[in-house]
A and B are shown apart, each in its own frame.
Chain A
Amino acid sequence: MSAAALQGVGIGWRRELALFIDRMPSPGFVEVLAEHLSPSGPIPEPLVRLRKRGVPLVLHSVSLGLGAAEPPSSERLSWLARQAEQLGAVCISEHLAFVRAGGIESGHLLPIPRTTDALEVLTENVSRAQAALPVPLALENVASLFEWPDAAFTEAEFLREVLARTSASLLLDVANLHAHTLNHGTDADAVLASVPRERLAYVHVAGGIQHGGLYHDTHAHPVPDGPMALLERLARRLGPVPVMLERDDRFPSETELSAELAEMSRALERGAAREHAEAHG
């Protein structure tokens, strides 16, 4: 599969959403958390059904730590490779982040410094991961409440460098980008402009909440206007892009979920329509 092979509007699979996803008429694709799958047991029955329906499955991992000083271990990589094979995943995604250091697990995706040191280490880690994984790898930008000091690159420049130095594709999280524009004043349009369509695997949308002067990317709240507007602007640049909703906690009613997915489709249509108008009129 090339990075640009996914299509449509999808959703992140969670046990709590299994019934809702089962009933979705035609999910574009479904993303499955690697850490939710049993290391030895069979894959959950609802996922087998999705595969039989021909819905492409993407494996999403949160624990490799591709941005860590310590390279991803071969045990962790072969575990991920097995999960991908068992699931029949079309691609694997991981984050531009680190999760552990100095013997402590943070339990979360932590930002990496935007320096040449970090870029060098990340590039090596990514090649090592790609060599061990059976399907293409997509890298995701993360949300953070703080930034590292002494950045040598802006976020847009850093993403461009990552794409230039690796053959991985990008999983652009517009909710994380929204968080960064609010928390750090990141230039969202510069980031959107740094994404070539042929390197974009898919897009994440999620909800969050403003708390104590900071935007927290919770995946537990309704999607605010900000990420939807970024999705529309991305579609204006690139045409319709594969996009999915992430919800991890405080699961809403089926009506609310359907409404959010429909809103994502409309944002894509609005953006793509304007792209068409600008290109042809």
Chain B
Amino acid sequence: MSARERLALAQAELVRALGVGGPVPAGFDTARVQAAAQALIHKRRRAVENTWPNLASALGPDFARHFDAWARTYPMCVEPDPRAEGRRFAETLRGQGLLPASVSGVLLDFDARWNWIATGEAVRRRGFALVIRRDTFTRRWQVALRLPGGRVMRWV
């Protein structure tokens, strides 16, 4: 095995321990690696909190608990982007029925402006973009239209 191959295995093992709660590789100080894993989640959470203030305040004290549990299950697979991270997190909450109804409009607005993919990238939309969906809580149809130039019109 080459130096690169040996290093690749060792680094991947460490990153799994840090990012998704995998076993701490042999020889490392377990408590230290766990402290570092917690620090990484905290950094991720703080970035999402800053980018999605409405989501953070709507969840209140539950934000940190829900986010930390979510973050361990959904590692970052592309360049870290708190916009897409927050949107992915909100989508999981929605699926679990935990998303506060007050955030629904914010998500609609975001979806009209950004094309986000589940791996964690958010790409700015251009030109016309139409988003239509049924709100989980109110069961009403929601429509958002992004106009060329960036203005978003919403009907909820």
Interface positions of A (Cβ within 8 A of B): 63, 68-70, 98, 100-108, 110, 113, 116-118, 120-121, 144-150, 212, 214, 216, 249
Q: Which one, A63, A110, A249, contacts B14 given CB within 8 A?
A: A110
Give Cα A147 to B4, complex, Å: 19
Contact: B11 with A102, CB < 8 Å?
Answer: yes
**B6 located at the interface, meaning its Cβ lies under 8 Å from any Cβ of chain A in the complex:** yes
Give Cα A108 to B44, complex, Å: 9
Q: Which 9 A-B pairs have the closest CB atoms?
A: A102-B12, A149-B27, A69-B8, A146-B32, A101-B11, A105-B76, A117-B3, A69-B7, A107-B80
Return chain A residues, CB-CB under 8 Å to B35. 145-146, 212, 214
Return chain A residues, CB-CB under 8 Å to B75. 104-105
Return chain B residues, CB-CB under 8 Å to A69. 4-5, 7-8, 11
Give Cα A101 to B25, complex, Å: 14
Given contacts A101-B12, A104-B76, A107-B43, contact A117 B19 (CB under 8 A): no
Residue in B closest to A70 when the chains form the complex, CB atoms: B8
Min CB–CB distance A105 → chain B (angstroms): 4
Q: Which of B58-89 contact A (CB under 8 A)?
A: 75-80
User: In this complex, which of A104, A107, A108, A121 has the most chain B Cβ atoms within 10 angstroms of its Cβ?
Assistant: A107
Given A70-B8, A101-B14, A102-B11, 20 additional A-B pairs, CB 8 A: A69-B4, A69-B5, A69-B7, A98-B11, A101-B11, A101-B12, A104-B75, A106-B15, A107-B76, A107-B80, A108-B39, A110-B18, A116-B3, A117-B7, A121-B4, A146-B29, A146-B33, A146-B35, A148-B10, A214-B32
21 inter-chain pairs at a CB distance below 8 angstroms, sorted by A residue, are A100-B15, A101-B11, A101-B14, A102-B12, A104-B12, A104-B15, A104-B77, A105-B76, A106-B15, A106-B19, A107-B44, A108-B43, A118-B3, A120-B3, A121-B4, A121-B7, A145-B32, A146-B28, A146-B36, A147-B29, A148-B27
